């Protein structure tokens, strides 16, 4: 997972007319703006269009605290620039913002370090620092100093429509200027930014500490069903353990069913509170007893946290008059892929016809009817043929410590095809950390700083699940290194949105066995890889749709209770299941899609995953006759332009799920 830090909550608008929709009621009245425009036109008659747009952009967000109407007019007169002076303004802003963004990102990483990195038991002070957002006042400061007004006065806010229609002909500098104005199109109070940071930090702490001691989970015989010392985080650890058990599907079936039951208990909040993050109680998930007796359940904490995030995000609505919901802002402003387009892409992935063929193949390979947890079927990978214990032993031997993995980065990169000097350069810009959660990657925002690759290390080193996650996070950090250190403009650093970084992360993760020297044998490698990609993408597409449906329900029921939200989430998961999965699995009403942890601690982040799978497959398809290192470097240097234009420049076509679905059908016929 890529962790992206949005330090300034100001994003693109939908259309030029929408930009000024909130003009009525603004402190600067239309007549004041008109007089200011007329005066500037006299001074700069050739700049009429720029003047009109710039003055209105600045007037829309100018408040009484910023100065009087006369002071507004004086500011515009003194700060409207042309020619070389305008170019210098942009250059100076971009230079300074690399330092501002870079140091705030580094400060955020430090204040959140104890929450993110396994530094030992959390101290109350750690929670306080984790709720602190260092850059919460940055936007406010930029308006107070009038720098934000200089930007809005001199550079046009570009809408998504304009970026789509005009962007292909823009220079790199024009793209960078469009990304600069995106920062100040909306003005959000610093106090609200801080509240959002606190809410998300609380959710992160809850998820990061939600561990199940598997050697205290009882099977049908009442005895521990898993080996000693196994502690798994929900949901990532539980899911990965379940996937690993496909190495011997018949022998491990009961344990897989047990994990599925555990997941449903967590979703329904029937799990006894005393078994969460505790090794003191023997839990029987089937009977749902703790030490043989009924016990108090977790009190809907999962949904209280989700609801608190929703209500906190609601506080943003007055400052985004054209995008009143979190969904609006997430898809239209952050991802720059409208929700309807994202939904259509996910529904392409969920095509029941293609899934029916692949599902029938899985059923044949397992020798039994499909069960809901088979959404995580892992048998198309070469690792499914290797006992989990062997993979764990291999990884622990290679990476017994965090430092061993850090030191091993250049060799891993060389196995992926990066040449020695380039591999050394990339590795020097990545810092490995022992993660308190399951894993994430955090970018640097200033050259000279390092990206953080955070993965959970066990007492005996990095097991296979940890290595697989580490390869995913390595994909993020390599992207982050290229798209920072080799970028021509600071405001174009990164990729269009997190889904693109997820695409690279999936590509690296898919090469984990190759790095370990265990390439898939046989002549059907490509077909198996396609089937694996399709099945994984289809699974997370359903989670994304359930996530989106739950947030739509919240928008319609803003005063819901945690109990009502719990029921709505389960209903959304079952609705998606019954439409897209039940016809394939032959089982109705499974709530399993609601287990994902990111539904809580990264609101509406999950849609990035199916988008990432779609993007990754298109990139992989393009890369078949090409070298990953050179092409990845080229693609990352395209930078943070809008998604569809990035994809066209990268591979020549827009984003589509149809290639993956079509290839999956062909692969299923060929196995």
**Domain chopping of the chain, boundaries:** 2-204, 209-299, 311-356+523-628+635-670, 386-515
**Is the Cα torsion angle 233, 239, 244, 250 positive or negative in sign?**
positive
Instruction: Select from 282, 7, 255 the least CA-distant residue to 141.
Output: 7
- Other C-beta atoms closer than 10 Å to the C-beta of 586 total 12
Distance (Å, whole) CA 164 – CA 338: 13
Return the residue matching tokens 């190495």.
247
Q: So what's the pLDDT on residue 518?
A: 82
- Dihedral over Cα of 315, 319, 325, 331: its sign: negative
Strand order in the sheet with 451-455: 2-3, 439-442, 451-455, 430-434
Place of tokens 């690993």: 244
Q: Are strands 430-434 and 451-455 parallel, antiparallel or unpaired?
A: parallel
433: which strand partners? Answer: 454
DSSP state letter for 604: T
- 8 Å CB contact between 195 and 315: yes
Report d(CA 236, CA 196) in Å as an integer: 24
Contact 473, 406 (CB under 8 A): no
pLDDT score at 79: 98
- How far is 608 from 42, CA to CA, in rounded Å? 49
Instruction: Name every residue whose Cβ is closer than 8 Å to that of residue 630 and which is 6 or more positions away in sequence.
Output: none
What is the Cα–Cα distance from 259 to 373, expressed in whole angstroms? 9
The one-character DSSP state at 166 is H
Q: What is the dihedral of CA 643, 644, 648, 650, to 10 degrees?
A: 20
Q: Please state, in angstroms and as integers, the Cα–Cα distance from residue 599 to each residue in 31, 56, 603, following that order.
A: 47, 39, 6
Count of other CB atoms within 10 angstroms of residue 251: 9
| 224: DSSP letter | B
What CA–CA distance (Å, rounded) separates 361 from 580? Answer: 17
Q: What is the pLDDT of residue 670?
A: 81
Strands 211-213 and 430-434: unpaired
Place of tokens 């994430």: 440
Q: What share of the chain is helix, strand, coil (3-state, %, to 5)?
A: 65, 5, 30
Structure tokens at 512: 């984990």
Do you know the residue count of the chain? 671
- SS3 call for 665: helix
6-26: b (≥16 Cβ within 10 Å) or e: ebbbbbbbbeeeebbebeeeb
Q: What is the pLDDT of residue 87?
A: 98
Residue 296 phi/psi, 5-degree rounding, is: -65, 135
437 contacts 411 by C-beta, under 8 angstroms:
no
Residue 381 pLDDT: 80
Instruction: Answer whether 348's CB lies under 8 Å from 661's CB.
Output: yes
Strands of 219-338 (E only): list them.
231-233, 283-284, 289-290
- Which whole-number Å values give the CA distances from 139 to 14, 96, 192, 507, 587, in the listed order? 21, 14, 12, 36, 51
Question: In the prediction, which pLDDT does 22 show?
Answer: 37
> Which residues make Cβ contacts (< 8 Å) with residue 419, sequence separation at least 6?
629
The tokens 């090409």 sit on which residue?
Answer: 626
The two structure tokens encoding residue 196: 């959002």
Q: Residue 211: in which H helix or E strand, if any?
A: strand 211-213
d(CA 120, CA 108): 19
CA proximity to 302, closest of 277, 275, 268: 268
Among residues 347, 210, 190, the alpha carbon closest in space to that of 265 is found at 210
Q: What 3-state class would DSSP assign to 323?
A: coil
Where b means 16+ CB within 10 Å and e means fewer, 29-50 reads: eeebbeebbeebeeeeeebeeb
Over the chain (671 residues), the average pLDDT of each successive run of 10 is: 46 32 65 97 97 97 96 98 98 97 94 89 89 86 96 95 95 98 91 90 92 96 94 94 94 98 98 96 97 96 98 94 93 94 96 93 97 96 76 95 97 97 98 89 96 93 94 96 98 93 91 84 73 96 98 98 98 98 98 96 94 91 91 97 96 94 91 78
Q: How far apart are CA 153 and CA 28, in angstroms?
A: 14
The pLDDT of residue 57 is 96
Largest CA distance in the chain: 89
Look up residue 506 and give its two tokens: 């999936």
Q: Is 283 helix (H, G, I), strand (E, B) or coil?
A: strand
């Amino acid at each position: 997972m890529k962790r992206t830090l949005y330090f300034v909550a100001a994003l693109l608008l939908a259309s030029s007319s929408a930009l000024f929709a909130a003009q009525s009621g603004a402190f600067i009245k239309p007549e004041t703006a008109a007089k200011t425009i007329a005066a500037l036109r006299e001074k700069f008659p050739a700049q009429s269009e720029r003047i009109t747009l710039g003055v209105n952009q600045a007037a829309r967000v100018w408040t009484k605290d910023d100065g009087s109407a006369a002071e507004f007019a004086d500011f515009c007169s003194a700060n409207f620039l042309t020619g070389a002076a305008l170019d210098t303004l942009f250059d100076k802003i971009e230079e300074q913002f690399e330092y501002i963004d870079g140091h705030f990102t580094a400060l955020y990483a430090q204040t959140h370090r104890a929450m993110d990195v396994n530094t030992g038991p959390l101290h109350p002070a750690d929670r306080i620092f984790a709720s602190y957002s260092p850059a919460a006042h940055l936007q406010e400061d930029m308006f107070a100093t009038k720098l934000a007004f200089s930007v809005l006065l001199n550079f046009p806010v570009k809408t998504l429509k304009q970026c789509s229609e005009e962007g292909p002909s823009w220079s790199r500098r024009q793209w960078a200027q469009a990304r600069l104005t995106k920062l100040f199109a909306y003005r959000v109070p610093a106090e609200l930014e801080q509240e959002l940071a606190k809410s998300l930090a609380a959710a992160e702490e809850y998820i990061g500490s939600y561990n199940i001691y598997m050697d205290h989970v009882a099977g049908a015989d009442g005895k521990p069903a898993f080996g000693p010392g196994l502690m798994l985080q929900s949901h990532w650890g539980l899911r990965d353990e379940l996937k690993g058990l496909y190495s011997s599907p018949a022998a491990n079936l009961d344990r897989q069913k047990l994990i599925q039951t555990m997941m449903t208990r967590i979703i329904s909040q029937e799990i006894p509170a005393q078994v969460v993050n505790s090794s003191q109680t023997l839990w029987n998930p089937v009977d749902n007893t703790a030490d043989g007796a009924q016990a108090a359940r977790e009190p809907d904490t999962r949904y209280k946290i989700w609801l608190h995030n929703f209500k906190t995000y609601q506080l943003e609505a007055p400052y985004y008059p054209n995008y009143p919901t979190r969904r609006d802002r997430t898809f239209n402003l952050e991802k720059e892929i409208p929700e309807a387009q994202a939904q259509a892409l996910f529904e392409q992935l969920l095509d029941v016809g293609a899934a029916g063929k692949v599902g029938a193949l899985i059923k044949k390979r397992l020798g039994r009817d499909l069960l809901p947890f088979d959404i995580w079927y892992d048998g198309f990978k070469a690792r499914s043929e290797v006992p989990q214990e062997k993979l764990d032993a291999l990884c622990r031997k290679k990476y017994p410590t965090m430092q061993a993995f850090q030191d091993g980065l250049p060799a891993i990169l060389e196995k992926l095809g990066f040449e020695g000097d380039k591999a050394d350069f990339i590795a020097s810009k990545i810092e490995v950390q022992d993660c308190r959660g399951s894993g994430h990657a955090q970018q640097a925002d200033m050259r000279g700083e390092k990206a953080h690759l955070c993965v959970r290390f066990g007492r005996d080193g990095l097991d296979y699940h940890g290595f697989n996650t580490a390869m995913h996070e390595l994909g993020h950090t390599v992207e982050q290194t290229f798209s920072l250190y080799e970028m021509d403009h600071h405001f174009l650093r990164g990729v269009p949105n997190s889904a693109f970084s997820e695409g690279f992360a999936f590509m690296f993760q898919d090469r984990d066995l190759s790095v370990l020297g265990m390439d898939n044998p046989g002549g059907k490698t490509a077909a198996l890889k396609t089937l694996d990609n399709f099945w994984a993408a289809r699974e997370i597409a359903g989670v994304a749709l359930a996530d989106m449906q739950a947030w739509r329900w919240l928008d319609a029921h803003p005063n819901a209770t945690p109990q009502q939200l719990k029921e709505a989430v389960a209903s959304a998961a079952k609705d998606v299941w019954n439409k897209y999965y039940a016809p394939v699995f032959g089982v109705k009403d499974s709530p399993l899609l609601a287990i994902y942890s990111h539904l809580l601690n990264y609101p509406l982040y999950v849609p990035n995953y199916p988008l990432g799978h779609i993007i990754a497959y298109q990139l992989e398809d393009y890369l078949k006759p090409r070298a990953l290192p050179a092409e990845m470097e080229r693609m990352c240097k395209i930078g943070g332009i809008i998604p569809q234009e990035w994809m066209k420049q990268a591979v020549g076509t827009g984003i589509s799920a149809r290639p993956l679905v079509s290839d999956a059908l062909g692969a299923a016929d060929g196995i």
